[in-house]
Structure 1
Amino acid sequence: MADFQQFVADVGTRLSAMSKGELFVVGDGLDRDSLWLTFLESFPAGTNLRFRERSEYDCSTCRGFVKNFGNVVEIQDGHVRTLWSGVSAFDPVFSVVAAAMDEFVGTLPLSGIFRSTEAQYGTKTTRTLRDGQVEVWHHLHGRVADRHRTTDVGPARGAFDAAVQVFQRGLAELTPHALDTVVDLIDDNALYRGEEHRRAVTEFRSLRNQWAQAADGRVFVFANAMNPAARFRNTVIGTLVQDLSEGVDLEQAVRSFETKVAPQNYQRPTALITPAMVKAAMKTIGELGLEESLQRRFARLSDVSVNNVLWVDNDTRSRMKDGIEGLLMQAATTRPSGAGGRDAKPEEVPVVAFMKDILPGAASIDLWVGNSHEPHFVSLTTGRNPAAPPLFTWDNDFAWSYGGNVTDSIREKVKRAGGNVTGKLRVSLSWFNHDDLDLHVYEPDGTHIWYQDKRHKLDVDMNASSPLSDEPVENVTWAGKIADGEYRIEVNQFRKRDSSRGGFVIETESAGKVEHYSYERAVAQKETVEVGRMTVAGEVITAFRPGKDMRSGSAGKDLWGITTEQFVPVSTIMYSPNYFDDNEVGNRHYFFMLKDCVNDQPTRGIYNEFLRRDLQPHRKVFEVLGDRTKCEPTSDQLSGLGFSSTVRNSVVAKVTMNGGRRRLISIQF
């Protein structure tokens, strides 16, 4: 015979045991009446005598308990267990009822955490008077544990739901490789205050590994959503892992992290590669037999075949790899020539036409090397072991290295940053690190143009916040009426972040004339540098008085053994190595190798953008490798000026043709 009182006791015992841990509910949007109907309809036929005969099983007290506790579950060892699991297993009636409820509730999906404002659902007993006798009725009942009670259910459930979402996104989006990389950075002391974040990273990594092996990922998420490590994705160290997981470059991702947590003058002590990255790269290098290919040096004239040069002067010919014999294979033609000097107006000739129509008939070439060409100084490099396999996407071991910061002009950088370069008058600031320099211009009437009033004339303000650039610019342009008078220009160091590549360049443009003024020392924190005072008349700059320590772009200076702002003899003209022989890989560069031009600084022989495809996965290691294995300076190197075919630029050449006539040509790139 069924023992309802024992069933009540079994359910109470089960609920009490479950309440020692976290409780959850299943069935999002569940109609609670379905729980009650399932309970009533699960009784075997004839065992639930309704109406006046026996109403103990279907009273309102039991209904309240079933509707509020019936879909409560616990999570044990990665599995969901209902309130009804194993209750009254040996009772012929209530074992059937419990099994039916367990099956129904067990099919419902997890929906949230269990919280209630009530202290109890159901009443242990009630009494009625029947035929003069007091009759005692037993009911399903249970107490809500203190840990599951709250005065505000909605926010408590909402907070848990939010935790589940954060945890789920972190598990799905944060990759094992990114987590391992951050742990390696911490191990190598390459992350600012990284040791403080070690526990958070390793605990989340452990949770993610467990989640990947769990039988039911959602059950695992619910069981661990209240773990502090589950919120890892929303922490500052979590943003670093997120960036790396999304494919952000390691250097950029760490820089973004350090912007959030590091003081402004913090400088990272070690390179951003991990032991795992080095091990993987070295494995690939060994498999491809590239160990000897990593040894680089400056290229010499004797390394280069004359078949790979476009022009060579007579003094240089005998030193080329294939000598005079190779030169005899090249056709030579002459063209009519004119005369001219530096002050004469040069004829503008596109570079392709210059190479085709003028170069073959040239006896000598002198190039005007201005201060503005400093970013274009370039050196040709090669491997120390000619028989070693090539590292690059072309089939020779030559590469090149620019000595300047970029090949783009300041004007092009401003344009790329969204600044206006088409106004009547322009003043632009360019610098080369992550500092936050600010351009200030004071107009004749005292109007102050600066970052706090950039609605009109100041249209580019970089490095004030992330993302930071190492090619930043600021720009002031006057498009409307320009007042006559004296304009004062200053540069202020608002936030110093870097200790390398200090200084800045100011570029002015007026009536088509571009001038440069440079400051070659680092600008200290909060220091203000007076750039100079420019006089404007008729909306044109008529004079510029540079401030103290400012250097005018028109003054020559010594660079790589030559003096700028004058003509320098050209020894050899060639394409970049990616266009040697039958190669046509990427953008073409035009190299004008200058006599006596010697790069006196160690130079990179390996650049990531040159690497062959099977080395691309190890770009970060090769970036560090290129910096650590630079080519040492030599006197017999090939260095000069280089120009990209994809960047608009020009250079003036004084060409002496075969026959002695001269032409002054502005070569247009």
Structure 2
Amino acid sequence: MVKAIINLENHHYDNFEKSIKDDFAEIIKNKKQLFKVRISTDLWEAYIDALDPNERQQYKCSCCRSFIRKYGDLVIIDTDGRLKSAIRHPASAPSYFKEAVGNLKLLVEASRVTSVFHSDQRHLGKVMSGGRHHLAVALPESYINQSVWKKANQLMIESQKDFEQLSAALNTYRTESVATIKALILSDVLYRGGRFSDMISWFNQVILHVENETDLEVIRHLTWLYVSEAKSGYCDIKKSVVGALIADYEFGIPIETIIQRYNEKLDPANYMRIRKKPSEEEVIKAEELVGKLGITDSLKRRYAKLEDIPTFMWRSRYSDNGNVFSKIITQSRPFESPRLRVPIKTMTWKKFKETVLPKATNIEAKVEDTSRLMGLVTESISNSKPLFQWNNAFSWYYHGGVDGKIKKGSQSVKISDDSSEKDREIERRIQVAGGKYDDNDIRCSLRWENYTDLDLQCLTPKGKQIDFSRNKVGKGKMDVDMNLMGESEMPVANIRWPKNTAANGSYCFTVVNYDDRSNGSGTFYKVELEVEGYIYHYHGYFPFDDMHEHVFEFNYEKGRPINLIGVYHNLGYSDWNLEIGNFKTVNAIVKSPNLWDGKDAEESGNHTFFLLNGCHDKSKGKSRGFFNEMLRSDFKEINKILEAYTASTPIQGAEDATACGLGFSKESTWDLTLKVTADGLERLILIDRFD
């Protein structure tokens, strides 16, 4: 024993241990990602066999053997795609160990990466055992697995899948195609394209980096390097919206069609919405994970009040002024011509914000579009753990979804005599189903995006109704009807009168929600009416089944345009304590919560909210405490459960809400009429767009 100790000291074993620790700390100090490689040879044998046969026995320690076998294969990848051992560096090792360390280094750096390295513990190896120090290194806190539901080995397995997905994408897409789609996304032509700018820029960087390499192993290593740096979902780009854009472009689809298909995918009724009900096992797992994450309190949401909001772009001097009767809701007032007539001025929001807003003493907004109705929501329990991709507890919703982007909105109508306004997706679905889209006197078509059973009905001039049970009255016919049994996630219905067959008289079209299969998320739908070459679009929403909506009513006289009757009778304004066409006092103007902090999260949208006096959401089922696309990536595993939860859980404090009003996105047309008092002058200003 004495001899062994003396030899250990003579060979500077303590210095050897220290050199390993120091070299490891140096190599990861700049947050270099660690990787595992596949070794066909036993690293321990390669190490021990290089030591003096007469003395190696004293180094045959089980703790050190375990360390070398478990962690001796750790490497980093340089930006040139070369591997570098993270554990063994002959230059700093005492002379007695240089050959052994050199052997390990050569073996490791000539191997192939198999996964990104993750660890659930800080110390790799046993620092002390049996009264003696052993080979071991320590990881900084940032290297330790932070996931509450996945162990390190699960994350390493996932990295292998990420590598396969990214490699497949690199082998599928052409560099010029990626560059073209990058330019398209960064051009602001695509709706909400900004949320994908980081992904396409990252993938463009990857493909440019690897295309110049000819060494296949270097390409593999570089791919692994990018896998380790990728944000959640980036590697699986082929299944993403960005991948669909690239694939459409490479397939030769016209840019206009590519944009339309993209917009359909990003419709708030579809994007990141869960279509299938969660299983009992998924619910149980989610309960467990929510407890581990400590977000039970965070999921309890209430309507925000003005006094909750930390930052304003503008605030009325009269809002929440402490007067005894300041909480009484006053009647909206219709527009009255000012004493001094000033022509209405049209400008962008950017110009208004810079030139008019700083001087404004009073602002009123004209209420016209239900899709713009919005509410701010916050935590019910103060200081709950964060849910969102930004650093505050506030979220928002629109009457029409996460950003109100349902054309002219939930329960609204758009009229056009331009054939380019036809919904090509409705046309495609009708044709696939065997119906007829063109050459009709009257055609009314319904589309929606889930398994819910919606029915399109028409009360004809003779008082008889076309519906699922009677699909033909006179020359009128329902030639497509879907989802009686929930067979399609992309259904359509179609009622039509062929050319020269429609009778003059009154027509009334209704949509009925017979059987809701939306798993609590509700069903957005779109109706397209074509009469005498004019196109009419109606957008609606059903939160529950056993509901109906009269969408179009008109008197038809062949050869003449129709006048719609009673379309706006149930648009939801009363649910928000508002009156259509009237002006309402603006108490405050704020940005969307994702833009409140120093670090913007504009990929989640850029919205401006006009918070109206007395406005609050009294509707049932349309409000949301949050949307999945707002949540941190940590919650991806339980998105399905959270979707069902927020769809079925009411937001608290509706009657006390004072942070509701009208919202407008940077990417949409505004058409907002404001009545502004500034410099003693009251005038009308039309905000047509963001900038």
Q: Which category describes the TM-score, using the shorter chain as reference length?
A: 0.3 to 0.5
